[in-house]
Amino acid sequence: MKFRGRVWKFGDNIDTDAIISARYLTTSDPKALAAHCMEDADPEFVKKISVGDIIAAGENFGCGSSREHAPIAIKTAGISCVIAKRFARIFYRNAFNIGLPIFESRDLWDLVSDGQEIEVDGDNGSIRILDSNRGPLRIEPIPLFMQQLVSDGGLMKHIAKKKV
C-alpha cells in the first residue's frame, strides 16, 4: 500500500460538515459529493487537487456527525489517503468501511507545506517528504484486516467478495 502525491493541509477539528456540507446531503451520488469536497474549509480545493494527492490534517480530523458521505467525498475526489495527527473514531471506521486509507502521524503536519510531494509506504509504516533531507517519518501500518477492506474497495465489497 504505497502512495505518492502532493499534500494539502488542513488544521485541527475539521468536522464532517467542513468535509462535505450538510447542504449537499440530498444526494448519495459519490461524484456529486466529490465536487464539493472540503468546500467549506477551502472553496478552491477540488480545483487544485490532482488524482493521487494527499490530505494532511491536524488533530481530530473528521469529528462531528457519523455520516459516511465525508470519506466518500474525499475518496471520490481522487485523494489517495489522509494522514492526520489523530482522527475522530467514527471517521476512522467510516474511512475503512468505504475503502479510504488513512494513517496517523504526529509529525507530518508540522514538517510539510501545501503542494509538497510525499511518499507514503503503508506496508512498512513510513512517510518521506521528497524535497527534504529528513529521514523517513514513522507511521503505524494499517492492520491486515483494514488493508483487506481498502484493497477490496470497502466493507460492503469485502463482504460480497467473501460470499462468492
Q: Would the pLDDT of 143 be above 90?
A: no
Q: Would the pLDDT of 163 be above 80?
A: no
Other C-beta atoms closer than 10 Å to the C-beta of 102 total: 24
Instruction: Please state, rounded to an integer, the average pLDDT across all residues of the chain.
Output: 93
Q: What's the pLDDT at 164?
A: 61
CATH code (residue 26)? 3.20.19.10
For 92-125, the pLDDT digits (tens) are 999 999 999 999 999 999 999 999 999 999 988 9
The answer to whether 2 and 121 are in contact (CB under 8 A) is: yes
Q: What's the pLDDT at 141?
A: 82
Q: How many domains does the chain have?
A: 1
Q: How confident is the model at residue 1 (pLDDT cuts 50, 70, 90)?
A: confident
What are the two backbone dihedrals, phi and then psi, of residue 155, each rounded to the nearest 5 degrees? -60, -45
User: Would you say the pTM of this structure is higher than 0.85?
Assistant: yes
Residue 148 belongs to domain spanning: 2-163
Q: Would the pLDDT of 27 be above 80?
A: yes
For 57-106, the pLDDT digits (tens) are 999 999 998 889 999 999 999 999 999 999 999 999 999 999 999 999 99
Q: Would the pLDDT of 148 be above 90?
A: no
Residue 128 carries which side chain, given as an amino acid letter? R
Q: What's the pLDDT at 146?
A: 85
- Residue for cell digits 476512522? 92
Give the Cα-Cα-Cα angle 125, 60, 11 (nearest 5 degrees): 90
DSSP the chain: -EEEEEEEEE-S--BHHHHS-GGGTT---HHHHHTTTTTTT-TTHHHH--TT-EEEE-TTBTBS---THHHHHHHHHT--EEEES-B-HHHHHHHHHHT--EEE-SSHHHH--TT-EEEEETTTTEEEETT--PPPEE-PPPPHHHHHHHHHTSHHHHHHHHH-
Q: Which residues pair with 127 in a beta bridge?
A: 120, 137
